[in-house]
Structure 1
Amino acid sequence: MIFRILFVMLLVAGNVDAQRLDTLIKVSPYSLHVKILEGKGTPILFESGGGLDASQWDSIATVLHYQLQTTVITYDRAGFGKSTLDTTNYSILQEIKSLEAALTAFGYKNANFLLVGHSLGGFYNRVFAARHSGQVKGIVLLDPRIPSYEDMASARKYFQTLDRKDFEGGYINLYHLLANMEQTSNYVRQLPLPPGIPILNVMAETGPFLEAKENERFQTAQRNLVHANKNRKLVLAKGSSHNIPNDKPGLVIKLIGNFYRELKL
């Protein structure tokens, strides 16, 4: 499978240069690094996992662009990759507002979207969907974090073990992400997830935590999310760790592609 993906990427490299956008755009209070491969149909908007940047999606987005001939959009969230960080205005709501400003600047203000999010990226998918329920036609969640009181407690407990000085020298962005995690989870928890949006939840076989109890909580929350509505599906990524895009890129491409076609986007 990996050789097939590399072959497709070589084919794409010779065909999408005229449609490729890779730029830094100022959308107060951040400058966001955005990458767009333009195509037809409903765009796919990717959200990376916590602590990761848009490069997480490079191969996956490129292959999906080639296979579906659709627009794919990835970006570095505030403080990661090439995007800047404003600690005085740092919140998930402000991040989404800045993303909205960037999408508007590039002509996607009124576009429909298929959202894809890994881990913490699921929080951002939920906030965007709550604010644009009519434009979000589907969501693919890859081992997503689910907001809850239990998740808030887990975030608080973990942050209490950290020392800020350990994040100096290039990792202060991650510190602020973790420092705000409990508040972020609480904010997202209170947002309604529009029931009319179809969801494909891909759950990793191995959870992200060291404690079995925490992994069971993490997976139970995903199952409960899916069972809450008939238009939601659960798929187990057998043999995968929490980082499904890295462990199973071929599976991710297949599932997103099939879901996109199923929704007739």
Structure 2
Amino acid sequence: MSVMNSSASSSRRRRRRQAALTTVALAAVVTGALVACGNSTGSAVAATPAAAGRHSATAAATGTAAADPSLHMIENNGHKLAFHVTPGHLPAIVLDAGGGLDSSQWKKIAPALAKKTGSEVITYDRTGMGKSEEIIGSWNAENAASDLEAGLTKLGVTHNVILVSHSQAGEVATYFAKKNPRRLSGAVLVDASLPNFYTDSETARIEAANQGQVAALDGQLSTRVTRQLLATASNYGPMHRAYHAVSWPKSVPATVIASSATPFDTPEDAQLWRDALRQFADASANRQLVVAEKTSHDIPAERPDVVIKAVENMVKAHG
């Protein structure tokens, strides 16, 4: 690598690190996205759902290596979202990134799962992230679940889905599962934001703690990252008080992967987070808790093997 390329690469890493630090500062708002977002990759030519199905059948029949993902721009409620599809057979594995992150969070895990399982693997960018369009207004997990539902429907993925959700995506997964339990064969919730955590007192405490950080963001240069953080923060209290009352359908199996560090620095918050994940896992016989030892909240980057193994096990047991 030339000195110039090395310098440019270092500069990009610094910018990404700064974005990550901004996100960490608002961990209580977005429930801990710990790495900076980047643009996802894939072909610029979108295949039709029918074509994707044919490719899936061909790959499964021939036993060939997983193909490169294709990009599908799908519209829902007036905005477009980017879905990246690697063809394969059912169950379809759908990967949903943490808060402040796009589909590139799964750049190592997605191809590994496609190769190991032969399944169709789908990643996507939520609104305002990656290749998806921004929308004006507060971020809402129910709206995000609607985007996911619309994308999968238009891709023809209407059953036998294994949903893999990190951090804030746990909120999207919960609303999606509540409305579409028959679509899901199972879920892997990676240090996910779950309803148990958001007691009235905890939500109020987080709102108060975030006020100074939100004010600081308001004075910064407006970027996609800061706009997304502010959109989440603006409706944080009402959204999470409502979310606390939502329950995961007992018919959908789930594996919960917990980090050892949690997204929070304060012992009180960290313990409540651990308790919430354990309570969720203990609430039904078809759920289990796996602890990824010596990890921060960013389990997909630090221990992709733990995520891959949990998904493989879910596919074998329930796919």
Bin for the TM-score computed over the shorter chain: 0.7 to 0.9
Larger Rg: 2
- State whether structure 2 residue 260 is matched by structure 1 residue 260: no
- State whether structure 2 residue 277 is matched by structure 1 residue 222: yes
Residue 111 of structure 1, CA deviation? 2.1
User: What is the rounded CA distance, in whole Å, between the counterparts of 1:201 and 1:99 in structure 2?
Assistant: 21
What do residues 199-253 of structure 1 show as CA deviations (whole Å, max 9, x unaligned)? 1111101121111111011111111111111211111101111110011012211
Q: Which amino acid aligns with 2:187?
A: I
Aligned to 1:203: 258
Aligned residue among 273, 295, 301 for 1:240: 295
Residue 90 of structure 1, CA deviation? 4.4
Comparing 44-53 with 167-176, greater Cα deviation is found at 167-176
Determine if contact 1:151/1:185 at 8 Å carries over to the other structure.
no
Aligned to 1:60: 109
* Partner SS state of residue 270, structure 2: helix
User: What is the rounded CA distance, in whole Å, between the counterparts of 2:111 and 2:207 in structure 1?
Assistant: 37
What do residues 56-88 of structure 1 show as CA deviations (whole Å, max 9, x unaligned)? 112101110111000111101011111112124
Aligned to 1:21: 70
Aligned to 1:42: 91
Q: Please, which runs of 5 or more residues in structure 1 have no aligned partner?
A: 1-13
Aligned residue among 179, 188, 208 for 1:157: 208
* Partner SS state of residue 124, structure 2: strand
Determine if contact 2:292/2:299 at 8 Å carries over to the other structure.
yes
Q: Which amino acid aligns with 1:83?
A: S
Q: Please, which runs of 5 or more residues in structure 2 have no aligned partner?
A: 1-63
Q: What pairs up with 1:58-207 in 2 under 5 angstroms?
A: 58-88=107-137, 90-108=139-157, 110-147=158-195, 148-149=198-199, 150-161=201-212, 162-163=214-215, 164-166=218-220, 168-170=222-224, 171-207=226-262
Seen in structure 2, the aligned counterparts of structure 1 residues 173 and 167 have a Cα distance that, compared at 3 Å, is farther
Count residues with an aligned counterpart.
249
Q: Which amino acid aligns with 1:55?
A: S
Determine if contact 2:257/2:290 at 8 Å carries over to the other structure.
yes
More strand by share: 1
Task: Give me the identity figure in percent.
Answer: 28
Residue 15 of structure 1, CA deviation? 4.0
User: What is the rounded CA distance, in whole Å, between the counterparts of 1:122 and 1:167 in structure 2?
Assistant: 29
Comparing 120-129 with 89-98, greater Cα deviation is found at 89-98
